[in-house]
Structure 1
Amino acid sequence: MAKKLINKKSRVSVTKKRWYALKAPKVFDNQLFGETTAADPKLLVGRGVKVSLNTFMKMKRSGNMELKFKVIEVKGNDCLTEFEGMFMPVPLVKRIVKRAKRRIDDSFVVVTKDDVKVRLKPLLLIKKTVQRGVLTDLKRKTQDYCLNYAKELTYNELINKVIIGEIMKNLKFELKNVYPVMSVEMRAFVKVKK
């Protein structure tokens, strides 16, 4: 005779998740830029969110940049975020560098007028091969310019200048005296944690 199968039903406690709207900081006019789910609002605090710059600005050059936000507070169904940084994805860097003969990467910390430390990672592209002394001068001039530029601006103003590309345009003009640079890009812009 065939054995009788016994179906055991197990109880699984399911907590229902809710949707929470992500709200950008004041620099981005407190725009809603997405949604996330969580069973408990306490789990949202500290969560990182990456989003394209194109969601905030409809600019030709901004589509590929990634912005990183961190949830700092939950009010009702809204998550308040703070700006953590801006990054250029690696495939985009590779595509840009293909056209150049030489690339100069740099990384340094600048301090803004309101004493916020920010790590800048500029990327300089040159069409021809140059001597090492010229490369050193370009790096030194880049650091000096960015340090002095950041001292005069608050953190929010510096974010805006980097996003619209004004700092890169002015830096390219300044470096023309040392050696004509093909392109200046900001590979990363990160707020340094205390």
Structure 2
Amino acid sequence: MAKAVIQKNWYEIQAPEIFDADEVTETPAEKDSQVVGRKVREGLEDLMEGTDKYYADVTLKVTDVEGNKAFTEIAGMEVSKEYVSRMIRKRSDRFDLVHDTKTDDGKTVRIKVVGATVRNTSSKTLKDVRNAMKDLIDEEANSATYHEVMEMIFEDRLQDELRDIAEDIYPFRQLEIRKTELRD
């Protein structure tokens, strides 16, 4: 087993340009073609300086290999299940939204939002919030590239706008983008 690993080449997995970190990790493979398509999960705190999202993981997918460097793109991000479960409390409603949207560069992104209301509320009120959020997500994504949308999510700019829209309709204790997926 150890002999098989020794005969393989090691490739440095590089983070996309929007992150502060350059090299994420290393991976062994016999050929370049075996590295393309691999996915790596890394904590957002490790990739971006100054973020307080200790509970978020970013999935990076290898798209290109040059020499011993493997270049990646963001395949998505996810918030830990423990963080989501701490958001929801008694006498409040859980709010969920799953919405597919297209970015300016033609990529389809599935964005999943989770939130907790201050008190129990009606399904009509939650539906109104959901519709307002879908419109905002579409508006923001249609005018930005995929990497710009992900950067807005990582820096909490999109979440702040979603909170502002939600607060106009009904007060929320917390609101977070729980998961994003690049759909191809």
TM-score clears 0.5: yes
TM-score, structure 1 length as denominator? 0.85
**Displacement of 1:171:** 1.2
Query: What RMSD over aligned residues (CA atoms) do the two structures have, in Å?
Result: 2.1
Deviations 1:114-158 (A, max 9, x none): 222111101121020011111111111111111112122222211
Whichever residue aligns with residue 42 of structure 1, its letter is: S
Cα deviations across residues 37-89 of structure 1 (Å, max 9, x unaligned)?
A: 22333321111111111111234532221111111222111111121001112
Q: Deviations over 1:6-61 (max 9, x none)?
A: xxxxxx88861232111112333672111112233332111111111111123453
Consecutive unaligned residues of structure 2, counting only runs of 5 or more, are: none
What's the CA shift string for 1:131-190, capped at 9, x where partnerless? 111111111111111111212222221111010001111111112221111221000111
Q: 2:9 aligns with which of 4, 12, 18?
A: 18
**Structure 1 stretches of 4+ moved >6 Å:** none
> How many residues align structurally?
182
Query: How far apart, in 2, do the equivalents of 1:135 and 1:161 lie?
Result: 24
Q: TM-score, normalised by structure 2?
A: 0.89
Between the aligned residues of both structures, percent identity stands at: 26
User: Contact between 1:100 and 1:125, CA under 8 Å: does it hold in 2?
Assistant: no
Rounded to whole Å, the distance in 2 between the matches of 1:43 and 1:116 is: 25
Aligned to 1:52: 43
Alignment partner, residue 115 of structure 1:
106
Contact kept, 8 Å, 1:15 with 1:39, in 2: the verdict is: no
Q: State the one-letter code of the partner of 1:178.
A: I
Question: Where does residue 86 of structure 1 map in the other structure?
Answer: 77
Q: Post-superposition shift, 1:99?
A: 7.3
